[in-house]
Amino acid sequence: MDLSERYPSLRVSRHPLVAHKLSILRDVGTDTKKFRELVRELTWLLGYEAMADLETRPRRVETPLEAMDGGEVDPRVGLVPVLRAGLGMVDAMLELIPTAQVWHIGLYRDERTLKPVEYYNKLPDAATVQVCLILDPMLATGGSSAATVDILKAWGAARIKQVSLIAAPEGVATLSGQHPDVDIHVAAVDRELNERGYIVPGLGDAGDRQFGTFAGPSSEPGHEPGDETAEVVRRLQRDLARD
């Protein structure tokens, strides 16, 4: 079954430029500079699709010839990049909607349990936007995204969308299962997670490839998975199979 049929909130882009740029992004031979450029370009295309349903309000405009009724985006939009990999998606989104607010949430994935741990959150006491776009290149286990949605809902965000470049079926199942009201916009859904919790075939570690911090063979996806990590992945895959 197509995952989009199982999870109505999933939106997989069908744009040919998205497919073209994603193929280059995945290539192990793509250098850091080009990788960052492609993340920006793909984010622009996905953001265009993710914001297609934003409401507008009338705005009177004076053209060089005459006055006319135009429109402007009505809801206040917030961009929430999940540190650190989500930072590479912010500038492209701001080109689309320069008035957006940017709020950072820091989560890291415990390498043994794959559960998210919050270490940075500077959100104000009450929500200052109506629509939040969570920016994270990889939707892997879905734990960090689901935790981010929990934080934003408690903050008072009325509408939340997830924008990622690549998702794993396990991540889609986790996020959709916990938050079926959150739309998920992605360029592709890949086959599965490996035992270390990386998306396969994927593109490796999106943060390392953006910021040039690849640490050598020991940091490669799939290198020496711990028993606990592997069991978490197997549990996610069993849950997905039962859905």
User: What is the set of domains in the chain, with CATH numbers?
Assistant: 3-55+72-242 (3.40.50.2020)
**Given this model, what pLDDT does residue 230 score?**
66
The pLDDT, as a whole number, for residue 214 is 65
CA distance 161 to 140: 16
* pLDDT value at residue 216: 47
- What is the pLDDT at residue 82? 87
Name the CA dihedral angle for 127, 125, 174, 54, rounded to a multiple of 10 degrees. Answer: 10
Q: Report mean pLDDT in 10-residue bins for the chain, 243 residues.
A: 84 97 96 95 96 94 96 93 89 95 83 74 89 95 91 94 96 95 97 89 90 59 53 69 71
pLDDT at 8: 92
pLDDT in tens, 164-179: 999 999 999 999 999 9
d(CA 36, CA 53): 27
